[in-house]
Structure 1
Amino acid sequence: MSIAAPGRAAYVSLLGTTTLGTLASTLMSAPINDIGADLGAAPSQMVLAVSAFTVAMVAVAPVAGWACTRIGATRFLVLSLVLMVLAQVAAASATGLAGLVAARAVQGVACSGIPPAIHQGLLHFWPEMRRRSMAAWASAIGVGQAVGPPAGGLVSDAVGWRGLFLVYALVCAAGLLCLLRFVPAVPAVQQPVEVGGTAQLVAGAGLLVVGMTWAGQGGAPGPSAALVGAGLALLGWALRPRRPRGHLLGRGVLRDPAYLVSTAAAAAGMAAMGITLVSVPLYLGRDVGLTAGAIGAVTAAVAVGMVLFAPVAARVARRVGAGTTLAGGLVALVVVPLAVATLEGVATGPGVVLPLAALLLLLGCAIATVQSMAAVVLLGSVGASSGLATGVHNTGRFTGLATGYAWVAVVYSAGSPALVHTGTAVAAAATLVLAAAARARLPQSVTSGGVGRASSESAST
């Protein structure tokens, strides 16, 4: 039985908030050149406006995870959307690059806690539907990926890039009203937080992603490596097993195979998305000669696959278990990127478009499977009850995306599609090995399926 389960409007409102968060990161990709020309910023400088969102989101994720537990998931989402509305208005009002970068960073802060808050809300109201709700969550991400770039381009053409930010502010305000109207409060949980250790987490995550972003923008290897090294050192110190007040994330979290597998899988899935959505458009534009509109149509196949296949993954998981379904998704994340690399390496001209779109559709199916099942595995872990632990999990997720961006920027100039897409395959293969090694220690709720559980979830809808 659900715990005080509200109606379908609440379910849609929570998933819609996920889509809003994804839209925030993708809306400005289409008009980015127009924005740069208006603000007098070079293309390399405009990358800062894109990366500022990711850097802020990664750095703040640990604190955001704790905060959404501490004040309640629904209240946290309301505050996030209020901040998002203000940040969109600030972006629309920017008179220079610095103002836009600052506004984008605030948008990243607003989005940093949306995933754990959505997870908490869905699990609280519909605990017996965790596989189905996590699949719907993955589909909501896919919707944001699919709609963001074309919608951003159309709205920007109609009302200008400043109008784009203002229109999105109105959309966020509408989402805010839906949350207030339809979603009951999720009870807050009083969780203490160690300020010093949490500050180390935030600083370490920030330095890590700044270092990777700097490398991705062609920065000198020395400073990039120093930033990454300093970030890893701070993260390691904050998460060290023995602390005067006990482990920062709670006892046993970093020894829990479910937590480790879910975090690694989430990072691998986001790295696959980052690598694909940056490298494939570069290939289609430079080597195939497609227009921006055609490139958007081809790469939308990834998002279409995510939207369509996530419910299928949930049904498969009810039969064979989330762990087995996750493993299948990881296998696909190894095989499909290598197929994409092979195709890009041997095919030229417009004839590559249809087979590439088909492979990207399969890749979207794999990403949806990995993302949704990683969330299911996380909910069965020791860290699921700790807001800080879920925040660190999402730091890993977002860092995977930043790593994917940086990987493409560093290796694409080598001119080898195999090298670019091997990054996705290696990340997925490493996670698959980790999952296989940990399988015997995963909880039964992760490894088991069964018709009984499927019937329970079906009856709930």
Structure 2
Amino acid sequence: MASPAVTDTPTRSPWPALWALVIGFFMILVDSTIVSVATPSIMESFDADVASVVWVTSAYLLAYAVPLLITGRLGDRVGPKRLYLAGLVLFTAASLWCGLTGTIEQLIVARVFQGLGASMMTPQTMAVITRTFPADKRGRAMSLWGAVAGVAMLVGPVLGGVLVDTLGWEWIFFVNVPVGVVGFVLAVRLVPDLPTLSHRFDILGVVLSAVGMFLLVYGIQEGETYDWGTITGFVTVWGLIGAGVLVLVAFVVWQAVNRAEPLVPLSLFKDRNFSLSNLAISTIGFGITAMAFPLMLWAQSVRDWSPTQSGLLLLPMAVIAAGLAPWVGGLADRMHPRILAGTGLAAFIGALVWLAVVLAPDAPVWQVLLPIALLGVANGFMWAPIASTATRNLPMSSAGAGAGVYNTTRQVGGVLGSAAIAALMEARLTAELHLSGGASAGAAGAVPDAARDGFSTAMAQSLLLPAAVLVVGLVAVLLYQAPRHLATRPAAAEPTVDVSAG
């Protein structure tokens, strides 16, 4: 396979290609959170409990996360453009399937295929940035990528609420079809065919990572359903969780001893900023995914707000994040990332704790909107500095692998956040409402007046879990080293891939 040709400056601006790619990227990230606001409607439509409906999100996130390690490498081998287009076709077709399903089980299966398509697309957007933008310009490019990632995950509940109220929950999936078609046409026309790189594939690594993640997520998410005891025969919840951890440890050991080409090149983690960025983004993925469920259930079950009204709660967050992200992206090229990312994570933690304090049945709307606005500040400051810091020092030959690992850790955080928040909500509702299976009893519709205080308390307590996890991310970004282009001035020009190829 050919090595990537380099030139001192790109002969064609990489910005049109990036704009084309982020259309699809926006769509797949919206689908990470859009189901949260439709949860009560899906429960009612399929007569399902909350644990089953949470699997609609968890199945998507799990199928999205696990293949990312290999799809990053596969993009290097067959070309980012080809793999992105194939993933977009699969994602769009699976979206149509989701809207046409007749049972909760069929919906979960369709979401798995959606997740597979998303996993083929995501690493290619980040790899294209790494391979076409010079290091000292990557912050601005990552600001677009980061703004799309942040805003998409916040817009999901808003857009979902409007669609559920006006057209039905099926349209949160049908809307992807025309967007997917437009994204495909633009990508074909604007995204260059970058030179390919030769890679071998670690099949054992894929199997170990998939099995380990499934066992861990299933054990955490279904623990409360089985009262953290026996599932069947000799299989226990804690046995599944323990087995998942052991398999993942075996995966890491295999990556260390594999002398061919491991799925995760552990040498990437010799770059301190890459390691810290992966830890930070996993906590952010956890926090973004976990916070949406209790907030949306509180709004619809305690306040009797419609899906649209509930989704609009997050509108200040999306607007503020979108406004701040380009400005922060420009700062990311010339300011120490620990300042920017640290500000964002501290604001995220503060906003979740603030929400937990004010979340009461009779809380004035403005008291809820203030911490949500602070969440917008958090998202405006987090995404671009962390993403650009993660990839800034990586060699071009590791662009796909680095993007795959980074996006995997973000999605793994989301998977664990979805599973953990489901377990915690069930546990807190059971405790506060003094009912067995409290979550299922309370979440399908408006709760009785006598139970609203207990339901609100349970949802507020649940928000403290992502806040606690995000403290780890805050510590990680505070340990960042100054990027090389800031440590040595003036920055030396870094050769970039010739994007005029193809």
TM-score, structure 1 as length reference: 0.85
Match status 1:76 vs 2:83: yes
Match status 1:330 vs 2:345: yes
Residues 257-311 of structure 1, C-alpha deviations (whole Å, 9 max, x = no match):
2222111111111222123212222333445454433221112333233322212
Aligned to 1:171: 179
Residues 31-69 of structure 1, C-alpha deviations (whole Å, 9 max, x = no match):
555555555545543333232111211222212222222
Please, which of 419, 439, 442 is the counterpart of residue 480 of structure 2? 439
Q: Which moved more, 1:297-306 or 1:407-416?
A: 407-416
1:146 shift after superposition:
4.6
Aligned to 2:313: 298
1:404 shift after superposition:
2.4
Aligned to 1:272: 287
Aligned to 2:472: 430
Please, which of 202, 205, 208 is the counterpart of residue 197 of structure 1? 205
Q: Distance in 1 between matches of 2:148 and 2:40?
A: 27
Q: Which moved more, 1:304-313 or 1:97-106?
A: 304-313
Change in 2 beyond 3 A, CA 1:434/1:108 = same
Aligned to 1:135: 143
**8 A Cα contact 1:135 1:368, kept in partner:** no
State the secondary structure of the residue aligned to 2:128.
helix
Please, which of 117, 121, 131 is the counterpart of residue 124 of structure 1? 131
Aligned to 2:268: 253
Amino acid at match of 1:407: A
1:372 shift after superposition:
2.0
Amino acid at match of 1:300: L
Equivalent residues, number: 446
Aligned to 1:394: 407
Please, which of 376, 380, 387 is the counterpart of residue 364 of structure 1? 376
Match status 1:354 vs 2:354: no
Match status 1:373 vs 2:385: yes
Q: Which one scores higher on RCO, CA 8 angstroms, separation ≥ 6?
A: 2
Amino acid at match of 2:419: A
State the secondary structure of the residue aligned to 2:382.
helix
TM-score, structure 2 as length reference: 0.79
**8 A Cα contact 2:14 2:133, kept in partner:** no
**8 A Cα contact 1:83 1:107, kept in partner:** yes
**8 A Cα contact 1:268 1:431, kept in partner:** yes
**8 A Cα contact 2:269 2:275, kept in partner:** yes
**8 A Cα contact 2:137 2:333, kept in partner:** no
**8 A Cα contact 1:88 1:166, kept in partner:** yes
1:96 shift after superposition:
2.9
Amino acid at match of 2:269: L
1:183 shift after superposition:
1.4
1:75 shift after superposition:
1.3
Match status 1:408 vs 2:450: no
**8 A Cα contact 1:207 1:227, kept in partner:** yes
Change in 2 beyond 3 A, CA 1:285/1:161 = closer
Residues 62-108 of structure 1, C-alpha deviations (whole Å, 9 max, x = no match):
12222222222111110111111221232233243332221110001
Once the two structures are superposed, the pairs formed by residues 41-60 of structure 1 within 5 Å of their partners are 41-60=48-67
1:339 shift after superposition:
2.4
1:7 shift after superposition:
6.2
Match status 1:105 vs 2:118: no
**8 A Cα contact 2:34 2:159, kept in partner:** yes
Q: Distance in 2 between matches of 1:397 and 1:111?
A: 13
Q: Distance in 1 between matches of 2:88 and 2:377?
A: 29
Match status 1:243 vs 2:257: yes
The structure with the greater share of residues assigned to helix is 1
Q: Distance in 1 between matches of 2:11 and 2:241?
A: 45
Q: Distance in 1 between matches of 2:462 and 2:46?
A: 32
Amino acid at match of 1:77: Y
State the secondary structure of the residue aligned to 1:239.
helix
Change in 2 beyond 3 A, CA 1:341/1:94 = closer
Query: Bigger radius of gyration, 1 or 2?
Result: 2
- Root-mean-square deviation (CA, aligned residues, Å) is 3.1
Q: Share of identical aligned residues, percent?
A: 23
Q: Distance in 1 between matches of 2:41 and 2:204?
A: 43
Gaps of 5+ in 1: 454-461
Change in 2 beyond 3 A, CA 1:282/1:177 = same
**8 A Cα contact 2:348 2:374, kept in partner:** no
Gaps of 5+ in 2: 1-7, 230-235, 432-456, 493-502
1:154 shift after superposition:
4.3
Q: Distance in 1 between matches of 2:87 and 2:283?
A: 26
